[in-house]
């Protein structure tokens, strides 16, 4: 069913040909050929038209004329930026309740509490903060004007950028009568406009500082928490600062802490059951009956084993759908999920491995080759070193000393790419270090072989 696909390297295969399982509808065929005719009529004269041009026209047309998507009904439900409605937010009632309580004052025109939210990646911190803040705006008392803005501190990570973005996003020039330029003002000038905007438009604002630990310093938090006290504005400001580093709150400057007086909320990872429910609530992203039974539980199980990350669960499901589409399949199967996961892992790992030095890559490759050729998973450093020497000789790369090689293995362990543990060899004496790849050896091997410097490596080196 799935052969005949021509999946290219980045997975962007476009082959949904007639011979495939999905019969292309008559109308689609017709419109495709009509388009081809029109394109031929109007473009370059026939005698100048190369076959390459035609090929390009056909590829584009094949994609654009695909009106029927047999897999997805509403793919946007699986986009990370999508904010699900309340009835689709799963397993976060307690967090929603607590955050709403901290912000309750805002609805009545009083100061909301400042809140620091921390928790691992994909635990719903951004989602719940946006949801509760927008609910505060919707439920404001009649005479209370509430504003809410979301700032991604990984993008606006300096005080000036943050003050500029906040001032501009809160401002409504029709009401205030002034515009705020994106660039060119001093930090102090942006703050001045921010205070003026807040003063003239709002009684209360809620500001979400997402990825707050990415800010270069604590100055923004300091200014926001002291705005009232310093007489800058009468508008009440509540800050929700989000971080996935638990230690971030502890490291905050004492002065900031004392003026912020934050309440702390921590979000725990989801378990497989919750992840499954999150995905079940989005199954209408797919056409009816397209998802095979085991698909959602498998996505949830994978994401649960990867630290209960809901983003990962959704990503895997979306990728599985894409793979099914690319392979002309009628259904999304468990195999598609497995392949989607491998692809996601590979992408993440590729990024990590691509950044390490060549010597470290050779060391990692040595461990991958040993793992591929053995039932074992763990290997003593000496054995890995011999394999590493073979690789270096084979591709004409300098060989580092065994001592330096041990350091490289430790660095790889620090990056979470390799696991190493000490083992006592018993009466024969000595302690040896056993090394194991954290990721599948096939994946590591493939990624490193993609590096041109390892292209010349003889295959089956480990048998030599
Ligand atoms: N309880 C939930 N119900 C439904 N969807 C959820 C839930 N929690 C998270 N999601 C979805 O999972 C994805 C990740 O969630 P979110 O961005 O809120 O995580 P986060 O904790 O902010 O992660 P990070 O620390 O990486 O920023 C989003 O697409 C979000 O819609
Ligand atoms: Mg987030």
User: Which ligand minimizes its atom distance to the CA of 248?
Assistant: 1
Query: Which carries the bigger pLDDT value, residue 409 or residue 446?
Result: 409
Name every protein residue with a CB atom under 6 angstroms from any ligand 1 atom: 80, 84, 88-92, 119, 121-127, 244, 278, 310-311, 314
What are the Cα distances from residue 332, in Å, to 282, 283, 322, 415?
A: 15, 12, 9, 34
What span, in angstroms and rounded, lies between the C-alpha atoms of 183 and 377? 55
CA-derived radius of gyration, the chain: 28
The ligand 1 atom at the shortest distance from the C-alpha of residue 80 is 29
Best residue among 126, 131, 211, 318 to mutate for probing ligand 1's pocket (most ligand atoms within 8 Å of CB) is 126
Supply the angle between the helices 93-107 and 125-138 in degrees, to the nearest 10.
40
| First-to-last C-alpha distance (Å) of the chain | 40
Ligand 1 centroid to Cα of residue 127, in Å, is 5
Q: What is the Å distance from ligand 1's center to 80 Cα?
A: 8
Work out the pLDDT band at 84, boundaries 50, 70, 90. Answer: confident
Q: Report pLDDT for 440.
A: 85
| d(CA 6, ligand 2 centre) in Å | 36
Would you state the pLDDT for residue 268?
94
Ligand 1, atom 25, lies closest to the CA of 121
How do residues 42-73 score in pLDDT, each as one tens digit?
444 555 555 666 666 677 777 677 667 899 99
Which pLDDT value is given to residue 446? 87
Does pLDDT of 33 surpass 50? no
Which one of 25-39, 81-95, 101-115 scores highest in mean pLDDT?
Answer: 101-115
Q: Is the pLDDT of residue 14 over 60?
A: no
Mean pLDDT of the chain: 85
| Ligand 1 center from residue 463 Cα (angstroms) | 47
Percent of residues, the chain, with pLDDT higher than 90: 63
Asked if the model's pLDDT at residue 8 lies above 80, the reply is no
Tell me the pLDDT tens digit for each residue of 355-369. Answer: 899 999 999 999 999
Contact 279, 316 (CB under 8 A): no
The answer to whether residues 196 and 170 touch, using CB atoms and an 8 Å cutoff, is: no
Q: Which atom of ligand 1 is nearest to the CA of 210?
A: 27
Q: What's the mean pLDDT in 412-436?
A: 85
Of 235, 260, 250, the residue nearest 114 (C-alpha): 260
Ligand 2 centre and the CA of 180: distance in Å?
28
Mean pLDDT on 377-386: 95
Pocket of ligand 1, candidates 117, 124, 212, 296: which has the most ligand atoms within 8 Å of its Cβ, to mutate? Answer: 124
Atom of ligand 1 nearest to the CA of 124: 18
- Are the C-beta atoms of residues 114 and 238 closer than 8 Å to each other? yes
Ligand 1 centroid, distance to 82 Cα (angstroms): 10
Which residue do the tokens 């390799």 mark? 418
Structure confidence at residue 30 (pLDDT): 40
What DSSP assignment string belongs to 295-353?
HHHHHHHHHHHTTT-HHHHHHHHHHHHHHHHHTT-SSB-HHHHHHHHHHHHHHHHHHHH
Task: Check residues 421 and 9 and name the one with the higher pLDDT.
Answer: 421
pLDDT number for residue 343: 85
pLDDT of 312-357, one tens digit each?
999 999 999 999 999 999 999 999 999 999 888 778 788 889 889 9
**Residue 439 phi, psi (nearest 5):** -100, 165
Residue of 127, 130, 134 best suited for mutating to test ligand 1, as the one with most atoms within 8 Å of CB: 127
Going from the Cα of 282 to the center of ligand 1, the distance in angstroms, rounded, reads: 13
Q: Which atom of ligand 1 is nearest to the CA of 79?
A: 29
Task: Report the alpha-carbon angle 425-428-430, nearest 5.
Answer: 50
- Give the C-alpha separation, 169 to 149, whole Å: 7
> Three-state SS across 5-51?
CCCCCCCCCCCCCCCCCCCCCHHHHHHHHHHHHHHHHHCCCHHHCCH
Cβ(13)–Cβ(326) below 8 Å:
yes
Q: Encoding tokens for residue 406?
A: 């041990």
Q: Which pLDDT score, from 0 to 100, does residue 389 have?
A: 96
Q: pLDDT tens-digit profile of 181-239?
A: 999 999 999 999 999 999 999 999 999 999 999 998 899 999 999 988 888 889 999 99
- Min mean pLDDT across 85-99, 252-266, 379-393, 424-438 is at 424-438
Q: Please provide residue 238's backbone torsions phi and psi, each rounded to the nearest 5 degrees.
A: -115, 135
What's the confidence (pLDDT) of residue 202? 97
In order of 23, 362, 363, 411, 446, the CA distances from 405 in angstroms are 57, 10, 8, 10, 22
Q: What is the DSSP string of 88-123?
A: G--S-HHHHHHHHHHHHHHHTTSPPPPEEEEE-TTS
Binding residues for ATP: 123-127, 270, 282
Q: Is the pLDDT of residue 274 over 90?
A: yes
How many angstroms separate the alpha carbon of residue 210 from the centre of ligand 2?
6
Question: Which ligand number lies closest to the CA of residue 244?
Answer: 1
Q: Give the Cα separation of 94 and 91 in Å (integer).
A: 8
Which ligand sits nearest to residue 132's alpha carbon? 1
Residue to mutate (ligand 1; options 122, 134, 348; most atoms within 8 A of CB): 122
Residue nearest to atom 26 of ligand 1 (CA): 121
Q: Is the pLDDT of residue 461 over 90?
A: no
From residue 7, alpha-carbon distances to 3, 12, 322, 346, 395 in Å are: 10, 6, 11, 16, 30
Please report the pLDDT score of residue 456 as a whole number.
83
Helix (H) or strand (E) holding 382: helix 381-395
pLDDT category at 416 given cuts 50, 70, 90 is confident
pTM of the predicted model over 0.85:
no
Report CA-CA distances (Å) from 252 to 102, 198, 255.
21, 26, 8
State the pLDDT at residue 271.
95
Whether residue 176 is predicted with pLDDT greater than 90 in this model: the reply is yes
In this prediction, residue 55 carries a pLDDT of: 66
Ligand 1, atom nearest to 127 Cα? 18
Task: Tell me if 211 sits within 8 A of 154, measured CB to CB.
Answer: yes
Give binding residues as ranges. 123-127, 270, 282
> 286: which strand partners?
72
Which is it for the CA torsion 235, 99, 80, 284, positive or negative? negative
pLDDT at 423: 84
């Amino acid at each position: 069913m799935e052969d005949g696909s021509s999946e290219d390297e980045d997975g962007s295969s476009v082959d949904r040909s007639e011979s495939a399982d999905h019969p292309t509808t008559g109308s689609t065929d017709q419109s495709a050929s009509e388009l081809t005719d029109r394109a031929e009529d109007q473009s370059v004269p026939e005698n100048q038209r190369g076959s390459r041009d035609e090929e390009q026209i056909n590829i584009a047309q094949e994609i654009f004329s695909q009106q029927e998507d047999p897999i997805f009904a509403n793919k946007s439900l699986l986009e990370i930026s999508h904010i699900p409605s309340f009835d689709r937010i799963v397993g976060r009632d307690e967090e929603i309740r607590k955050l709403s309580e901290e912000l309750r004052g805002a609805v009545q025109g009083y100061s909301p509490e400042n809140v620091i939210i921390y928790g691992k990646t994909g635990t719903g911190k951004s989602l719940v903060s946006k949801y509760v803040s927008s609910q505060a705006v919707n439920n404001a008392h009649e005479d209370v004007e509430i504003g809410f803005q979301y700032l991604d501190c990984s993008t606006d990570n300096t005080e000036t950028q943050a003050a500029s973005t906040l001032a501009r996003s809160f401002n409504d020039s029709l009401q205030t009568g002034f515009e705020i330029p994106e660039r060119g003002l001093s930090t102090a000038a942006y703050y001045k406009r921010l205070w003026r905007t807040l003063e003239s438009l709002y009684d209360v604002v809620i500001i979400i500082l997402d990825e707050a630990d990415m800010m270069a310093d604590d100055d923004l938090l300091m200014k926001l928490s002291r705005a009232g006290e310093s007489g800058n504005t009468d508008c009440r400001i509540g800050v929700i600062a989000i971080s996935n580093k638990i230690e971030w709150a502890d490291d905050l400057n004492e002065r900031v802490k004392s003026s912020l007086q934050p309440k702390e909320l921590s979000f725990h990872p989801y378990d497989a059951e919750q992840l499954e429910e999150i995905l079940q609530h989005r199954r209408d992203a797919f056409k009816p009956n397209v998802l095979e039974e085991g698909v959602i539980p498998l996505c949830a199980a994978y994401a649960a084993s990867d630290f209960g990350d809901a983003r990962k669960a959704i990503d895997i499901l979306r990728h599985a759908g894409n793979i099914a589409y690319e392979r002309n399949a009628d259904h999304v199967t468990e195999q598609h999920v497995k392949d989607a996961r491998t692809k996601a892992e590979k992408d993440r790992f590729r990024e990590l491995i691509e950044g390490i030095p060549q010597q470290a890559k050779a060391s990692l490759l040595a461990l991958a080759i040993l793992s591929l050729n053995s039932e074992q998973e763990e290997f003593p450093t000496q054995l890995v070193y011999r394999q590493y020497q073979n690789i270096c000789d084979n591709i004409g790369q300098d060989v580092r000393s065994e001592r330096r090689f041990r350091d490289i293995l430790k660095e790889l362990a620090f990056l979470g790419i390799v696991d190493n543990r000490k083992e006592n060899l018993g009466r024969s004496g000595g302690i040896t270090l056993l090394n194991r790849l954290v990721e599948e050896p096939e994946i590591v091997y493939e990624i490193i072989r993609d590096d041109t410097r390892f292209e010349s490596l003889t295959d089956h080196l480990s048998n030599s």
